[in-house]
Amino acid sequence: GQNIDQPTEMTATEGAIVQINCTYQTSGFNGLFWYQQHAGEAPTFLSYNVLDGLEEKGRFSSFLSRSKGYSYLLLKELQMKDSASYLCAVSLNTGGFKTIFGAGTRLFVKA
Amino acid sequence: DTAVSQTPKYLVTQMGNDKSIKCEQNLGHDTMYWYKQDSKKFLKIMFSYNNKELIINETVPNRFSPKSPDKAHLNLHINSLELGDSAVYFCASSQATSGSGDTQYFGPGTRLTVL
């Protein structure tokens, strides 16, 4: 079976750092995505990790450990506009360009 | 320049009706998808087409029928609409590369409400 787990909600303060964790158990693994989705809008791409390690992109970084089935998204210098849902998604290599999404973590950034 | 567009943005209809949602992408991608996002915000794949060929067909009632007239368009027709079909439907496209995987670009979504 395919399973992706991430916390339902998190709250953090403007200017702080927050880490959103994701664990997955899937049959077949190509890579792991993080998408951001603001309320009422479409998901937008944040990052893609294939190899183990940390990838940094501005205020956002994403980490992957394939052996542990674990990833996290790190958001630094939080801004109010970072309040959104963050979706962890796994690209499968079972054929057919299939990506499965976690239920998302709703992040609330407070002043 | 809208990369992935969907019409309509909102759709309110009665149970039992038949409706269609249209999707177009101008990114030159080979693969297009339909996703359903329910009230719990869980995004679930329904169908995927690659160069007009159906490659993913998840466990979706056969009242849902996708059609891809060309690789830039993927439409979704729904027959005999039911209350449980109420959701936001997202179209997406991708072009798989070794560096970015099959990063998906989503349309704005179609909010379907069945009364």
For A47-74, the pLDDT digits (tens) are 999 999 999 999 999 999 999 999 999 9
The pLDDT value recorded for residue B15 is 97
How far lies A12's CA from each of A68, A109, A110, in Å?
Answer: 26, 5, 6
B56/A98 touch (CB, cutoff 8 Å), yes or no: yes
A44/B106 touch (CB, cutoff 8 Å), yes or no: yes
For B66-86, the pLDDT digits (tens) are 999 999 999 999 999 999 999
C-alpha to C-alpha distance for A73 and A88, rounded to whole angstroms:
9
B108/A97 touch (CB, cutoff 8 Å), yes or no: no
**Alpha-carbon Rg for chain A in angstroms:** 14
The confidence band for B40, taking pLDDT boundaries of 50, 70 and 90, is: confident
Q: Nearest CA of chain B to the CA of A101: how many Å?
A: 6
Task: Say if residue A7 is preceded by a cis peptide, omega within 30 of 0.
Answer: no
Greater confidence (A87 vs A28) lies with: A87
Its sign, for the CA torsion A95, A89, A28, A58, is positive
Question: Cβ distance B45 to A100 under 8 Å?
Answer: yes
A97, A100, A105, A107: which to substitute to probe chain B, counting the most B Cβ within 10 Å? A97
